[in-house]
């Protein structure tokens, strides 16, 4: 017996009182009938008209946009970006919130995730409850910092430049992205058309003048001759294998952080905010307090940022093992740290490689997993190594909270936590949690 398809509610509107912020760049509201709404472009305490953008009758929740603000919050500002708002670019979540309010909203999300998933208050997490702005990012109300050193532009069928709309493949045409770093904006990506191209990723290195664009052609598309406003290297994503190949210029950019120059190849991972790498290294090293002769692990090590910082501190009698799943990142890490005999970089997944090393005890661990987190099995293995301190670097407070609960089950408790606003006007936030073995009897 076939069931009747449920009626779409897209386009329906509700007048609602906006409740607390939630993880994901929206707030929670309820209709008079009790239906849960996820409301973007709103702020807690506002009364708004919320229009459904996704959902059907009987759904657990409906996704909505605040299309009319009936009672504005004192934290509301006019969005500086003309491409921000309902139905427009999905890149920024909080253009309509004052800078201080954005950080408070992120702090509320972290607090809620720690409470719900780890059973911790901010005090128990050893966190002061604040989200720290990066140096230089404090801007007046109604302005946004230009921080994003890597921007992926979407190209429409006519070759015009844009950015993706929220939860959509649709493209919002743009002539400038306000949060793009100056090194990205100066390339002039938005000034020209890109026929037969699907995406253009622009990269502006920190600490060098290296600029790079990575082009993804449409199926069967040919690369255009790239003539931009500044010298730039060009890479392309291969249609058949998805690999990244050099067209001209260097296949890497040189980043500068922690008193070293880092080679990052083929659009590999590097922190997007220009101050992020140094800030995170400082937070991790202050929390771990490495000693000469320590044995340390840098897991999900990328191009070796934390491994290098650890190696400088553990000295010649110490040792650092890094593990990374990206083959190109491993090549870069080995190149970047080739002057340090005490560092070894292994290629593969942490959960597979670490057990094979035979390592049974370490002094320190840096853990910087992907957004999904490390998971129960990896946490259990790490706890068995008996490290006196573990630094967990997290780009997702939910994953952090889940893994911290796993660590608690293995006898590790928070010593200190800091949160950094390394993604202004978006909902993303970076946390550094220092864990240590609980005192016996506690």
* Contact in structure between 206 and 198 (CB atoms under 8 Å): no
Q: Distance (Å, rounded) from C-alpha 182 to C-alpha 191?
A: 15
Tokens representing 296? 């340390």
3-class SS string, 261-281 = EEEEECCCCCCCCCCHHHHHH
| pLDDT tens per residue across span 357-403 | 999 999 999 999 999 999 999 999 999 999 999 999 999 999 999 99
| pLDDT tens per residue across span 223-277 | 988 889 999 999 999 887 788 999 999 999 999 999 999 999 988 899 999 999 9
Q: CB within 8 A of 5, min separation 6: which ones?
A: none
Q: How would you classify residue 267: left for phi > 0, otherwise alpha for psi between -120 and 50, otherwise beta? A: left
| pLDDT tens per residue across span 42-51 | 999 999 999 9
| pLDDT tens per residue across span 338-356 | 999 999 999 999 999 999 9
Q: What one-character-per-residue DSSP string does 272-308 give?
A: SSTTHHHHHHHHHHHHH---TT-EEEEES-TTTHHHH
* Contact in structure between 14 and 38 (CB atoms under 8 Å): no
Residue-level pLDDT at 138: 86
Q: How would you classify residue 119: left for phi > 0, otherwise alpha for psi between -120 and 50, otherwise beta? A: left
92 counts as catalytic: no
Tokens representing 362? 């370490």
The pLDDT-based confidence of 1 (bands split at 50, 70, 90) is: low
| pLDDT tens per residue across span 284-341 | 999 999 999 999 999 999 999 999 999 999 999 999 999 999 999 999 999 999 999 9
Residue-level pLDDT at 313: 98
What is the residue whose two structure tokens read 């993880």?
23
Residue tagged active-site, from 27, 89, 301, 395: 395
The closest of 23, 70, 62, 61 to 42, measured between CA atoms, is 70
* Contact in structure between 275 and 136 (CB atoms under 8 Å): yes
Alpha helices in 289-396 (DSSP H): 305-314, 327-336, 350-357, 376-384
CA 425 to chain centre: 13
Q: What one-character-per-residue DSSP string does 25-75 give?
A: TEEEEE-TT--EEEEES--TT-EEEEEEEE-BTT-SEEEEEEEEEEE--TT
| Distance between first and last Cα of the chain | 59
3 state DSSP class of 371: coil
């Amino acid at each position: 017996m076939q069931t009747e398809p449920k009626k779409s509610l897209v386009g329906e509107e509700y007048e609602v009182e906006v409740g607390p912020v939630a993880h994901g760049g929206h707030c929670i509201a309820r209709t008079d009938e009790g239906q849960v709404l996820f409301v973007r472009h709103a702020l807690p305490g506002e009364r708004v008209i919320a229009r459904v953008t996704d959902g059907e009758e009987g759904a657990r929740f409906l996704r909505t946009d605040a299309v009319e603000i009936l009672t504005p919050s004192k934290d509301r500002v006019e969005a500086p970006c003309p491409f921000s708002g309902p139905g427009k670019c999905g890149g920024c979540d909080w253009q309509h919130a004052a800078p201080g309010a954005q950080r408070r909203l992120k702090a509320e999300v972290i607090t809620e995730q720690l409470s719900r998933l780890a059973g911790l208050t901010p005090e128990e997490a050893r966190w002061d409850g604040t989200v720290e702005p990066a140096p230089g990012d404090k801007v007046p109300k109604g302005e946004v910092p230009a921080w994003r050193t890597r921007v992926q532009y979407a190209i429409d069928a006519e070759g015009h430049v844009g950015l993706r709309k929220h939860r959509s493949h649709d493209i919002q045409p743009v002539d400038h992205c306000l949060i793009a770093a100056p090194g990205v904006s100066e390339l002039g990506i938005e000034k020209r058309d890109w026929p037969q191209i699907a995406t253009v990723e622009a990269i502006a290195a920190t600490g060098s003048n290296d600029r790079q664009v990575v082009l993804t052609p449409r199926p069967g598309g040919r690369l255009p001759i790239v003539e931009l406003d500044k010298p730039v290297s060009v890479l392309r994503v291969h249609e058949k294998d998805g690999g990244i190949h050099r067209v001209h210029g260097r296949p890497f950019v040189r980043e500068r952080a922690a008193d070293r120059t880092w080679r990052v190849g083929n659009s590999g991972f590097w922190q997007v905010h220009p101050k992020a790498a140094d800030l995170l290294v400082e937070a991790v090293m202050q929390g771990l307090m490495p000693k000469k002769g320590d044995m340390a692990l840098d897991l999900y090590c990328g191009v070796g940022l934390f491994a290098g910082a650890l190696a400088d501190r553990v000295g010649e009698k110490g040792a650092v093992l890094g593990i990374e799943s990206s083959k190109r990142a491993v090549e870069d890490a080995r190149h970047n740290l080739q002057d340090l005999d005490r560092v070894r970089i292994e290629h593969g997944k942490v959960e597979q490689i670490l057990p094979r090393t035979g390592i049974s005890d370490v002094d320190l661990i840096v853990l910087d997993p992907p957004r999904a987190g490390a998971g129960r099995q990896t946490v259990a293995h790490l706890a068995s190594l008996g490290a006196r301190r573990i630094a967990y670097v997290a780009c997702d407070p939910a994953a952090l909270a889940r893994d911290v609960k796993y660590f608690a089950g293995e006898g590790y408790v928070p010593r200190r936590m800091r949160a950094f606003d390394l993604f202004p006007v978006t909902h993303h936030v970076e946390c550094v949690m220092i864990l240590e073995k609980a005192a016996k009897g506690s």
